A and B are shown apart, each in its own frame.
Chain A
């Protein structure tokens, strides 16, 4: 395995909703320039696990290390301070605001009087959109007026704009057409080349086989196992997801 210090280590994370243990003693890690796929059925606990990392939830037990140092992440602001950026499955957009306001939500550009500078934010948004999704043209309407794919680009842009070092993508291509999906794949490879670590949550095995270096499979809140993509077959991954069965043979 890699000799470097991991960007992220989540150790023995537990989180219960009422009586349901959504995440039960799960440990995962992530290295610079690596894409780790998190797989599992609906309700396996993937979103809950990464929400602990993004500060949306506080774990009942377990520890998080960033660059080998113990990190305290109590809210989304803490996570952002560690350069952890997240694209949520729900996108987490304020539908009544335009693209720029969403992109900069919580981190608005202000002028020297402390007033929100909408024009500067729109200019920045246009610039980065030009790079990530040149087809995006609607900068004036509230994002509720945008298509699913356009909304997803806003969420992706927001995560990428602020120099993320750790990127969490929860089903980032769920609402995208083939062309836009292709763009996200390119983006992932580009970010990876820049040394950014990515947790990619997906249910599309092909996406995962193509983009990921390792996969961690969850089932019923528990970690089934973590494997290098090159060491396992599609069928073995499916067996992990469906049956919760670890691949026995080692190549």
Chain B
């Protein structure tokens, strides 16, 4: 029976670890749903959960590369805060002077500057690590202190608010969603893309004369993916805008607002779309580019990588630059979601990001890790926190639970790897 299960799983081509993580997540959701009397698995909560996860999940994909190359980045939370501060100050105190308040290009300029800043700072830290050979732990621990201090310096500790209204849409507030029709469109496109990918991969393999999975397994995989994507769209569309927002929407569209209310869907939140794009790009980078291949080779055996002609120092710079860029994207999402940038923006995020990557199966010894794993890890972390808050667990107990779960997850992973011999 067990063996039959394993054969089925193997045929579909999903590894057991992925299945285990999804199982843990589903279990978590069911437990929280039962203990909150059905308040956990509601469209509203799942919408919030996905929005809250986005920022940490975006960073966790970069942390996979960092950890795979046997480094660590403790500075991402502080860097997020610093970039957020700079972006906030730029769009509130500097750009309006030149462009006028509420100018359409403000959000774009801000985001681009944030992205550049993150990339440059990341590259700089990577240069110290790669070329000056100061351990990443120390460099980024220093970075944690430096960027948190620098963030305070930008405004002398004052909170910057309210952020540009277009910029705020990137955080997925009431206005920052796709609505029902666009969500369906995105869902359809994603489904078609997934199916085409599966078909093309199969064709490529059989062209080379390799063994391919049984046809039913391909159908099953395609079916599961389709169900997940479209199911998500249905749930997000089932979450209506609150009264006030619906009224504003109706006015903007020139529709009469009926006395008994109007059902306007939220649809997929923009930060989730950003996460989706990041996830796809990072997966392609990891699996299909030379850079990605070298990241994993270097993590598996730095000497071998070096002897194969890979410039591992430059690679380190690139990995940390990428981490910085993703931190900037996360800073956009996090600050836009709050609509303001305070001094505590991103505090402790480095630990959430590292935990997400590690729970998602990234090995601190290097060479092993997946993008999807890190994202599921981020969802698990956020589910734990939101769920416990909803159940009414005290904050101190919450962190105790998260800590224990982290250690437990890694322990299970180690045992699994030893058994599986990988």
- Which chain A residues have a beta carbon within 8 Å of chain B's beta carbons? 54, 56, 75-77, 80, 86, 88, 90-97, 101-102, 105-108, 110, 114-116, 119-120, 122-123, 141-142, 144-145
Contacts and interface: CB of A to CB of B under 8 A. Distances in A.
A108 B306 CA distance: 15
B224 interface: no
A106 B310 contact: yes
Contacts of B208: 119-120, 122-123
A95 B367 contact: yes
B305 A94 contact: yes
A40 to B, nearest CB: 22
A113 to B, nearest CB: 9
B282 to A, nearest CB: 14
Contacts of B292: 116
B289 interface: yes
A101 B297 contact: yes
A109 B219 CA distance: 30
Contacts of B252: none
A76 B309 contact: yes
A56 B305 CA distance: 11
Interface string B199-231: 000001101111000000000000000000000
A105 B308 CA distance: 6
5 contacts: A56-B307, A94-B300, A96-B300, A97-B300, A119-B205
Contacts of A75: 309
A95 B300 CA distance: 6
A102 B308 CA distance: 9
A96 B370 CA distance: 13
Contact of B306 (A76, A93, A114): A76
Nearest to B205: A119
Contacts of A56: 306-307
Given A56-B306, A105-B304, A116-B289, 15 more contacts: A54-B307, A77-B309, A91-B304, A92-B304, A92-B307, A94-B300, A95-B300, A95-B367, A96-B368, A102-B304, A116-B293, A119-B208, A123-B208, A142-B300, A142-B422
Contacts of B205: 119
B301 interface: yes
B3 interface: no
Contacts of B301: 92-96
Given A97-B296, A119-B208, A142-B422, A114 B289 contact: yes
B340 to A, nearest CB: 41
A106 B308 contact: yes
Interface in B277-307: 284, 287-290, 292-294, 296-301, 303-307
Chain B interface size, as a band, is 20 to 34
Given A80-B309, A106-B309, A116 B421 contact: no
B145 to A, nearest CB: 34
Nearest to B307: A92
A75 B307 CA distance: 8
Contact of A94 (B204, B289, B296): B296
Contacts of A101: 293, 297
Given A76-B309, A93-B304, A95-B367, A119 B210 contact: yes
A130 B204 CA distance: 21
A105 B297 contact: yes
Contacts of A105: 293, 297, 304-305, 308, 310
Nearest to A110: B290
Contact of A116 (B209, B290, B303): B290
A-B pairs with lowest CB-CB distance, top 5 = A96-B300, A106-B308, A96-B367, A94-B300, A77-B309
B71 to A, nearest CB: 16
Contacts of A91: 304
A145 B422 CA distance: 7
A148 B292 CA distance: 27
Contacts of B310: 105-106
Q: Which of B210, B293, B421 has the most CB of A within 10 A?
A: B293
B109 to A, nearest CB: 31
B366 to A, nearest CB: 8
B270 to A, nearest CB: 28
A96 B296 contact: yes
Contacts of A97: 293, 296-297, 300
A89 B297 CA distance: 18
Contacts of A107: 309
